[in-house]
Structures are given as structure tokens and as C-alpha cells.
């Protein structure tokens, strides 16, 4: 698959790639995804295990740090693989696929967040 990156660099516009990557990273960090919901659920589970004495602080923090960096990267890796497997060369088609996948991720993440809030409210009522 030819991406055209080497052509851009050869023409002296390599900084455009760097700026684009930084903007994409910024937007990606503002956009909730399924990976965020998974991470927060795991984090809460491990925090409870820590509070119950089932795991040590070292185990908690190792898990937390590892998953903070890998879950979201894995999600975007899956998005990339889906786009590559569909093998669409048109920008308009690829951009629609990407927006659909990200939009679906936002909906699932918001749903998971709402479920979590409802569980917390239920626990407060029962306390």
C-alpha cells in the first residue's frame, strides 16, 4: 500500500506529517472510545481489589500504567486494521469508515459511562 509519505517528505513538506500526527493525537485524546470505557471499568475493578487487600499497590499501579498505554493504542490499531482490510482507496470512503468507527466508539463509551454511573447510584442507595 502506497501512502505517499515519502513523496511528501521528498518535496520538503515533512513537517506537515508531524503537524498532522500531533493534531490527530490531540483529537484522539479528546474523543471517548470503547477502549476508554474498558480501561475505566478495569481501573475501578482493580481499585476495589486494592481496597479489599486482594492485590498490592505495586500490582495495581503496574496494571493501571500498562493498560493506560496499551488499551487505547490497541483500539486504534484495530480501527486501522479494519480500514486496511476494507482496502478502499478513496479518501471520502475511508473518512466515512473512520468517522463511523469513531462515532460508534463514542456511543459505546458513553453508554458504558452511563451504566457505570447508574451502578454507582444504586450502590449509594443500598449503602
> Per residue in 72-115, pLDDT tens?
888 888 878 877 777 666 766 767 777 777 677 667 777 777 78
Q: Provide the angle, in degrees to the nearest 10, between the axes of the packed helices 91-126 and 57-86.
A: 150
pLDDT at position 60 over 80: yes
Distance between CA atoms of 36 and 76, rounded to whole angstroms?
12
Mean pLDDT of 38-43: 85
Mean pLDDT of 26-37: 77
63-68: long-range contacts, CB 8 A cutoff, minimum separation 24: 67/39, 67/42, 67/43, 68/39
Who wins on pLDDT, 34 or 44?
44
Distance between CA atoms of 57 and 4, rounded to whole angstroms?
47
Q: Do 47 and 92 fall within a single domain?
A: yes
Distance of CA 51 to the CA centre of its chain: 27
Mean pLDDT of 5-26: 77
Q: Do 26 and 54 fall within a single domain?
A: no
pLDDT at position 19 over 70: yes
Angle, CA 119 vertex, CA 116 and CA 123 arms, to 5°: 140
Domains in the chain, number = 2
pLDDT at 62: 96
Mean pLDDT of 47-74: 93
Q: Phi and psi dihedrals of 11, rounded to 5?
A: -80, 0
Q: Do 12 and 43 fall within a single domain?
A: no
pLDDT at 87: 67
Q: Do 46 and 10 fall within a single domain?
A: no
pTM score: 0.59
pLDDT at position 3 over 70: no
Q: Do 16 and 73 fall within a single domain?
A: no
Q: Do 39 and 3 fall within a single domain?
A: no
pLDDT at position 65 over 90: yes
Question: Whose CA is closest to 44, among 112, 110, 91?
Answer: 112
Who wins on pLDDT, 111 or 50?
50
Amino acid at each position: 500500500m502506497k501512502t505517499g509519505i515519502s513523496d511528501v517528505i521528498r518535496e520538503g513538506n515533512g513537517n506537515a506529517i508531524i503537524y498532522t500526527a500531533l493534531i490527530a493525537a490531540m483529537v484522539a485524546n479528546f474523543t471517548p472510545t470503547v477502549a476508554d470505557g474498558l480501561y475505566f471499568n478495569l481501573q475501578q475493578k482493580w481499585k476495589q481489589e486494592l481496597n479489599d487487600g486482594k492485590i498490592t499497590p505495586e500490582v495495581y499501579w503496574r496494571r493501571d500504567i500498562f493498560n493506560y498505554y496499551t488499551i487505547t493504542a490497541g483500539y486504534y490499531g484495530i480501527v486501522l486494521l479494519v480500514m486496511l482490510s476494507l482496502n478502499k482507496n478513496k479518501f471520502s470512503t475511508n473518512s466515512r469508515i473512520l468517522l463511523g468507527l469513531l462515532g460508534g466508539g463514542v456511543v459505546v463509551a458513553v453508554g458504558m459511562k452511563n451504566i457505570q454511573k447508574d451502578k454507582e447510584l444504586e450502590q449509594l442507595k443500598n449503602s
